[in-house]
Amino acid sequence: MTPPIARTWARRGHTPVIRVRGRSRRRISIAALTCYKPGERARLIYRPRRDDGRRDGRKSFAWTDYRSLLQVAHQQLGGPIVLIWDNLNVHPDARMRTWIADRDWLTVHQLPPYAPDLNPVEGIWSLLRRGWLSNVAFTSPDHLVQTVRHGLRTVHYRSDLIDGCLAGTSLSITPTTPRFQAQ
């Protein structure tokens, strides 16, 4: 992962140079859900996945990983879920659509292509990049995972930050309907 740089310094007249080792074959992926319910605090449910090279050849989340995340979210939230999804290639997978069709507690709406400004989770990633992940040279994949978990755990307990991510999309939740409404 190329480190995001928030600030740096150098002597006047000297351009700062930040050296980064070559690309690693190891990958860390994170899936997250921002959860909103009128009258309750916003919640964040997330799962990091570290590619260790031993699992099914995939480096990122498979449809089964998203299925597991949704099942856990359903158990934690204790009610029906209206899911607003972006167009990641795994989301419209035929096996995923079949699984979703069999769940009466799950309603899925697809965002239009290239619309990250409508996705509140993008605000979470922005908070991580600008905060906990900026200006850090990670010593190992475990160090990266630990830092990401710490940042996401902090965001999870700050529902005002999660609410701000929804406000940044110009979407709101109305108490009369479980669907997102454009303002």
Summarised one tens digit per residue, pLDDT across range 130-158 is 888 888 878 887 888 899 899 999 998 98
Please report which confidence band the pLDDT of residue 182 belongs to, taking 50, 70 and 90 as the band edges.
very low
Dump pLDDT digits (tens) for 19-57.
666 555 567 788 888 888 888 888 889 888 777 666 566
Residue 70 confidence (pLDDT): 92
Supply angle C-alpha 138, 140, 144, rounded to 5.
Answer: 55
Query: What's the token pair of residue 93?
Result: 């997978």
Which phi and psi angles does 119 have, rounded to 5°? -105, 110
- Between CA 121 and CA 110 the distance in angstroms is 14
- Between CA 162 and CA 130 the distance in angstroms is 15
Please report which confidence band the pLDDT of residue 60 belongs to, taking 50, 70 and 90 as the band edges.
confident
- Between CA 1 and CA 140 the distance in angstroms is 11
Query: What's the token pair of residue 32?
Result: 């997250």
Residue type, 88: L
Query: What's the token pair of residue 100?
Result: 């979703």
Instruction: Supply the angle between the helices 159-167 and 141-157 in degrees, to the nearest 10.
Output: 90
Domain residue ranges of the chain, discontinuous segments joined by +: 28-182
**Tokens 């600030």 belong to which residue?**
7
Query: What's the token pair of residue 166?
Result: 């929804």
Topology given in CATH for the domain delimited by 28-182: Nucleotidyltransferase; domain 5 (3.30.420)
DSSP string covering 1-16: -PPP-S-----TT---
Please report which confidence band the pLDDT of residue 1 belongs to, taking 50, 70 and 90 as the band edges.
very low
- Tell if the pTM clears 0.75, that is, is over it: no
Residue type, 121: V
Residue 62 confidence (pLDDT): 83
- Between CA 44 and CA 169 the distance in angstroms is 16
